[in-house]
Amino acid sequence: MTTTDVIAPTRATAGDVGLLILRIGIGAAMLQAGLIKAFDFGTTVEFMAAGGWRMPTLAALMVTTAETLGGVGLILGVLTPLAAFAVIAAMFDAWAVNVAAAAFWSMPFNAPFLIGLGATTVLFAGAGAYSIDARIVGRSTWSPRTAVGVLVAAAAAAALTWVALNDTNPIHFTTPA
């Protein structure tokens, strides 16, 4: 077996149930966040503008789409690496928003950090046997190389989005003036 092979499940295990629970929890949190933004899009745009984001409508559309579609993808376990990518990238930037107002270590383990960590766990562990990926596509896990590539791409997408649309450094070692 090479590192690019994918592994199809042979039978469901307790680990698959755990992955289902994790996917539903992380996915539901993301879906809720995305739908709140979608149903009150004007407030989302205002929040982005107040936070200093250039092109706040584009920024709001990007985060709303990433959270909503990433959440649905994780809940269903469909195109799981792509769903995890969307959630991880959105949570990197949400984490940065939360830590940008104070010294970095004053609150580093906030909700976006934990949700991003959960999505990263699903990315590396796979969607499990109770997923569309496993049942229809025949893939319950992806290679470690694919997972690392997706994680690096999500971090790069988040950093690029932050620099292009916010243009500030969110990491401070002391509280900003």
Residue 118, classified by CB atoms within 10 Å of its CB into exposed (0-12), middle (13-18) or buried (19+), is buried
| Domain boundaries defined on the chain | 14-166
Q: Which two tokens stand for residue 172?
A: 């401070």
pLDDT of residue 52: 86
Residue-level pLDDT at 1: 46
Amino acid at the residue 176: P
Q: Which residues of the chain have pLDDT under 50?
A: 1, 3, 9
Instruction: Report pTM.
Output: 0.86
pLDDT of the residue at 44 = 96
- SS3 labels along the chain: CCCCCCECCCCCCHHHHHHHHHHHHHHHHHHHHHHHHHHCHHHHHHHHHHCCCCCHHHHHHHHHHHHHHHHHHHHHCCCHHHHHHHHHHHHHHHHHHHHCCCCHHHCCCCHHHHHHHHHHHHHHHCCCCCCHHHHHHCCCECCHHHHHHHHHHHHHHHHHHHHHHCCCCCCCCCCCC
Scored b (16 or more CB within 10 A) or e, 129-164 reads bbbbbbeebebbbbeeebbeebbeebeebbeebbee
Q: What is the pLDDT of residue 105?
A: 60
